[in-house]
Structure 1
Amino acid sequence: MILGQNQYGKAENRVVRIVRDGATHHIKDLNVSVSLSGDMDEVHLSGSNANVLTTDATKNTVFAFAKEHGIASAEQFGIHLARHFVTSRQSITTARIRVEEYAWERIETPGPKRHSFVRTNQETRTAQITYAGGPDGWQIISGLKDLVVMNSTDSEFRGYVKDRYTTLPETADRILATEVHARWRHSGTDGAEPEPGHWDHSYAQVREHLLHAFAETYSLSLQQTLYQMGARVIDKCPGIDEIRLSLPNKHHFLADLEPFGLKNDNEVYFAADRPYGLIEATILRDGAEAGIPADLTNL
């Protein structure tokens, strides 16, 4: 038997780099996978790790390079990494770097702050229409899902209950990111069917108010942000009586760069996908009764 093609590395390193240009922030959001090959026969055949650079070290390199070199582009960042791995270790002869980049579009709001973003090409529009006959027999529920948004500052979380199992440190400045899932119930049509364009206009309005409320709220908690988003829709859209929101907290943790002699001043983050906090609530117009069906409780 002979050993054929082999490689190893660290897959899906989720690195987020924030460049803070005063009140204007810039984001690079990458998923980086590193694969190395070379003189690696003995680790397979005899278990000798003498030529093995640990996969943990490759992960740390990704985060350290995000700080030291920045991320001008996915390609340039991959070039820096590949060159480093091949030239720094004699046993490594080939490095393959695969990068996925997730695009963010700035949420433009009045004022000087420019640190709110919406992930592009992610959102799905939804609708559920029920008719039981007669002019009052309609129930129309519109919605959206997979609308990913982020504030790179103006969010904190502190003053919460602490018990013997609490380890989360308080923070006065954090990334707040979530994937918005929303359903909203339209009030009665008074027996007249709206023009077809009404629904597109209504959807665009709700989406805009959700984004602006997210961007303009200085967040003390994701619960507070959720309420402000829902309340703004109810306030600004008189034809909507109820909105239900489900917001998973897409956690971003500061990468620990101290072992490499680097200071991480809220610049380089590890984007964790699970477990995550899940915040859900319904906001109703005063005097309206809840009417979104039970089968839409879990959005």
Structure 2
Amino acid sequence: MARLGSNQYGKAETHLVRVVRDGAAHELRDLLVSVALSGELEAVHLDGDNSAVLATDTQKNTVYAFAKEHGVGTPEQFGALLARHFLGGAITRARVEVREVGWTRLSDHAFAQGSREERIAVVVADESQWFASGLSGLVVLKTTDSEFHGFPRDRYTTLAETRDRVLATEVSARWRHDGTASFEDARRALLECFAAHHSLSLQQTLYAMGSAVLEACPAVQEIRLSMPNKHHFVVDLTPFGLSNENEVFHADDRPYGLIEGAVVRDGAPDAGPLWDPYPLV
């Protein structure tokens, strides 16, 4: 015998570009919106009965129409508006993820996109409403104030200990909150902590950065971070009669160390449906 397990369906990565033409200076917003709906959907899976299924094409059209009728606002606001709209009937839970890439203004109506960084908002609506905000593609590097030593050594260990190294990573983070946390404050806390923190390991830096967000944003209950170690190895220049005092590096993109973890506020409420079954970030 078999039974239907957890399931959801929706329209993924609807690419929405919204131009606001109020005045001479235009505003440009560039979003990827993904919708996932779940609820009383046994009939469509077991019997092919589509009477409870809102077509994914309708979901896509709703995203575009809402952008015109209501504007976009913040990613959290737009996601919440859509999630509440899709609830009802057989649908008992709606999850909306909004990813936004930024454009730099060149003139009143010209823009350039030069960064891989994305702003991310996730809203889950059921009998309650759950928010997570975050970012990905935030590449940071510091040329000193980073060490790594005291780790176990065995016959396979070749990595040298160091008291001064380049530390670089590409931060992906999600922080769950009550809908009032400032994205700008959280991002600023991540950057300021990375810059000021004297790192003994990337794990220690991850914890410090997460703690800084909790301190800066009282509405945040938990932050989850994924931080690959973008290795920079000192190049041996002795064959050429040259010294290399941490000046010339080989940047190695793979394989790489991947450091992940969560920092949780004491007494924080349960995450509800935000994390499970989704990955760390």
TM-score band, normalised by shorter chain: 0.5 to 0.7
Instruction: Select 2:126's aligned residue among 122, 132, 154.
Output: 132
Q: Where do 1:1-299 residues align within 5 Å?
A: 121-133=115-127, 137-187=128-178, 202-291=182-271, 292-299=274-281
Which letter maps to 2:213? V
Q: 1:222-277: per-residue Cα shift (whole Å, max 9, x none)?
A: 00000000001111211110100000000000111111111111111110000000
Moved over 4 A (4+): none
Q: Is 1:153–1:174's contact at 8 Å kept on the other side of the alignment?
A: yes
Q: Is 2:190–2:209's contact at 8 Å kept on the other side of the alignment?
A: yes
Q: Which has the larger radius of gyration?
A: 1
Return the alpha-carbon distance in structure 2 between the equivalents of residues 276 and 290 of structure 1.
Answer: 32
1:121 deviates by 1.8
Which letter maps to 1:127? A
Which letter maps to 2:168? A
Q: 1:58-116: per-residue Cα shift (whole Å, max 9, x none)?
A: xxxxxxxxxxxxxxxxxxxxxxxxxxxxxxxxxxxxxxxxxxxxxxxxxxxxxxxxxxx
1:289 deviates by 4.2
SS of the aligned residue for 1:127 comes to strand
Q: Is 2:225–2:280's contact at 8 Å kept on the other side of the alignment?
A: no
1:144 deviates by 0.3
The alignment covers a number of residue pairs equal to 166
Return the alpha-carbon distance in structure 1 between the equivalents of residues 280 and 176 of structure 2.
Answer: 15
1:290 deviates by 4.9
SS of the aligned residue for 1:281 comes to strand
Which letter maps to 1:126? I
1:293 deviates by 1.1
1:298 deviates by 4.1
Which letter maps to 2:124? T
Q: Is 2:133–2:175's contact at 8 Å kept on the other side of the alignment?
A: yes
1:149 deviates by 0.2
Q: 1:210-229: per-residue Cα shift (whole Å, max 9, x none)?
A: 00111111000000000000
1:296 deviates by 3.2
Residue number in structure 2 paired with 1:47: none
Q: Is 1:157–1:171's contact at 8 Å kept on the other side of the alignment?
A: yes
1:161 deviates by 1.1
SS of the aligned residue for 1:294 comes to coil
Which letter maps to 1:250? K
Runs of 5+ consecutive residues of structure 2 not aligned to the other structure: 1-113
Relative contact order, CA 8 A, sep 6+: which one is greater?
1
Which letter maps to 1:165? Y
Return the alpha-carbon distance in structure 1 between the equivalents of residues 269 and 262 of structure 2.
Answer: 11
Q: Is 1:284–1:290's contact at 8 Å kept on the other side of the alignment?
A: no
TM-score normalized with structure 1 length: 0.53
Return the alpha-carbon distance in structure 1 between the equivalents of residues 224 and 264 of structure 2.
Answer: 9
Return the alpha-carbon distance in structure 2 between the equivalents of residues 296 and 245 of structure 1.
Answer: 14
Return the alpha-carbon distance in structure 1 between the equivalents of residues 125 and 270 of structure 2.
Answer: 18
Residue number in structure 1 paired with 2:4: none
Return the alpha-carbon distance in structure 1 between the equivalents of residues 188 and 278 of structure 2.
Answer: 22
Which letter maps to 1:203? F
TM-score normalized with structure 2 length: 0.57
Q: 1:109-156: per-residue Cα shift (whole Å, max 9, x none)?
A: xxxxxxxxxxx72210111101113xxx01011110000000100000
SS of the aligned residue for 1:158 comes to coil
Q: Give me the identity figure in percent.
A: 54
SS of the aligned residue for 1:213 comes to helix
Q: Is 1:242–1:290's contact at 8 Å kept on the other side of the alignment?
A: no
